[in-house]
Amino acid sequence: MSRTNDPNLKSWVEVPPGSDFPIQNLPFGIFKTPGLTPRLCTAIGDYVADLQVLAEHGFFDDLGIDPRVFARPFLNDFIALGKAKTGAVRSRLSEILDDNLEDWDASQLADYFLHRQSEVQMLLPVRVGDYTDFYSSREHATNVGTMFRSKENALMPNWLHLPVGYHGRASSIIVSGTPVRRPKGQQMPDGAEKPVFGPSRLLDFELEMAFVIGRETALGQSVDIADAEDYIFGLCLFNDWSARDIQKWEYVPLGPFLGKSFASTISPWIVTLDALEPFRTEGPKQDPNPLPYLQTKGPGSFDIQLEVEIRPEAGEGKVVCQSNFKHLYWSMAQQLAHHTVNGCNIRVGDMMASGTISGPTPDSYGSMLELSWRGTTPIAMPDGSERRFLLDGDTAILRGWCEKEGLRVGFGEASGKVLPAE
């Protein structure tokens, strides 16, 4: 276990109980304020720490990094330095914020580089080049297959042999807090003879996580599954907003298109694989055994608790789903090995989402489609209203965190409010 994971570390910055951002997390993000241009930061307790200012004060001088990399509006150039360098920065941040290490004590400079999270604007952390969405939850694929085909043929014949996925739209990936306009499109209502055009009536969230590619490959090169995690910089929360009526009419034969591409919301913090290491765990047992290029040794999943809250415009919110990343059948390493096995190249900042993460119980389903079972079992809200799908004014809030023996490492939120169609 690396120094940064030591559960006994404490910061001189106050970290409230239950915070997602203890000194053991130190995720990376981008923030700005009315007076400060976009720049790199980490999170500690209720604060962000400005990496550009720390670089200007020489805290990273011995790490052999161009200090201008901390003043960029995206993390891409920083991530591209490689894990040896980015890990060294994280390790230095751990020293800077540690209340026991006086060599690197920056507490005298706190006023210069710490800002309350409530007083800064978090920006999209990564310029996403390509975005892929997998479909790696067996429970989700089974639920959807049962609804749209039959219980017996819920999983397609390929599903247990490869991580199914599709290429998504990167331009509409947005950061938490950005409102989402209800999309319009073609739909074929049940029993109708002709398609209609209008606002989607079946707007949904999908509870997912995504990993960010940290190292590029050349065209023609495949990532060996044993090395796959070297290519993964970190993870964030991911809401793959879905318009079920548009999706249902358009998706045969080529798959998701306009029912998905109008928006995907991510959390502003990229949590490194290093920070997640204490929470590594086995995924589900795989039967049949996958082909050799998809076979892994050792635990390839992480115990990340996930939840989704729906908060009406004027009313109390309700947590409608509690799930866990560890339910995913296919691991990130398997997804990446499969993605590149044909020679498809990957680039720093590419984003690969997990697919909806549903668990085994009805309260762990990761979409309204499943929670309300196509609208047949509505969810009761605290204000007495019901939800089959999302209404205008609703905010969907995804949260994720790991917790073990008093250590909590979290992702913050991926939140988005539904605005009425224009």
Give 321-325 contacts, CB < 8 A, sequence gap 24+: 321/207, 321/363, 321/364, 321/365, 321/366, 321/371, 322/359, 322/363, 322/364, 323/207, 323/357, 323/358, 323/359, 323/364, 323/365, 323/366, 324/357, 324/359, 324/364, 325/209, 325/301, 325/354, 325/357, 325/400
DSSP 391: P
* 240: contact with Mn ion by CB under 5 A: yes
CB of 167 to Mn ion, least distance (A): 12
**How many whole angstroms separate alpha carbon 127 and alpha carbon 129?**
6
How does 17-35 read in b/e, with b if 16+ C-beta sit within 10 Å? Answer: eebbbbbbbbbbbbbeeee
User: Which residue, 139 or 240, is less far from Mn ion as judged by CB?
Assistant: 240
Count of residues binding Mn ion (CB under 5 A)?
3
User: Which residue, 55 or 164, is less far from Mn ion as judged by CB?
Assistant: 164
User: Which residue, 75 or 173, is less far from Mn ion as judged by CB?
Assistant: 173
User: Which residue, 78 or 241, is less far from Mn ion as judged by CB?
Assistant: 241
Stretch that binds Mn ion, among 236-244, 323-331, 339-347, 402-410 (CB under 5 A): 236-244
CB of 256 to Mn ion, least distance (A): 8
Is 231:271 a contact under the CB 8 Å cutoff?
no
Stretch that binds Mn ion, among 10-18, 238-246, 247-255, 279-287 (CB under 5 A): 238-246
Query: What angle is formed at CA 201 by the lines to CA 198 and CA 205, rounded to 5 degrees?
Result: 125
Stretch that binds Mn ion, among 100-108, 240-248, 328-336, 406-414 (CB under 5 A): 240-248
Strand-strand pairing, 165-167 and 173-175: unpaired
* 370: contact with Mn ion by CB under 5 A: no
User: Which residue, 49 or 369, is less far from Mn ion as judged by CB?
Assistant: 369
For the question of residue 140 being annotated catalytic, the response is yes
The counts of H helices and E strands in the chain are 9, 26
CB of 236 to Mn ion, least distance (A): 15
* Element housing 280 (H / E): strand 280-281
Is 261:172 a contact under the CB 8 Å cutoff?
yes
CB of 134 to Mn ion, least distance (A): 8
Is 260:169 a contact under the CB 8 Å cutoff?
yes
Q: Which amino acid is at 233?
A: F
User: Which residue, 140 or 399, is less far from Mn ion as judged by CB?
Assistant: 140
Closest-by-Cβ residue to Mn ion is: 240
* 350: contact with Mn ion by CB under 5 A: no
User: Which residue, 122 or 237, is less far from Mn ion as judged by CB?
Assistant: 237
Residues 197-216 that bind Mn ion (CB under 5 A): 206
Instruction: Give the x/- contact pattern for Mn ion in 126-145, rule: CB under 5 A.
Output: -------x------------
Query: Where does 304-394 show beta strands of DSSP type E?
Result: 305-311, 318-324, 351-353, 379-380, 386-387
CB of 168 to Mn ion, least distance (A): 8
Instruction: Give the x/- contact pattern for Mn ion in 156-195, rule: CB under 5 A.
Output: ----------------------------------------
CB of 133 to Mn ion, least distance (A): 5
What is the DSSP secondary-structure string of 93-141?
A: HHHHHBTT-GGG--GGGHHHHEEEGGGSEEE--S--S-EEEE---HHHH
CB of 139 to Mn ion, least distance (A): 14
Residue 404: count other Cβ atoms within 10 Å of its Cβ: 11
By CB atoms closer than 10 A (0-12, 13-18, 19+), residue 161 is: middle
Strand-strand pairing, 407-419 and 180-181: parallel
The single residue of 115, 140, 327, 338 carrying the catalytic annotation is 140
**How many whole angstroms separate alpha carbon 144 and alpha carbon 146?**
5
Residues 263-292 that bind Mn ion (CB under 5 A): none
User: Which residue, 95 or 240, is less far from Mn ion as judged by CB?
Assistant: 240
Active site residues: 140
**Residues of this chain that bind Mn ion (CB under 5 A):** 133, 206, 240
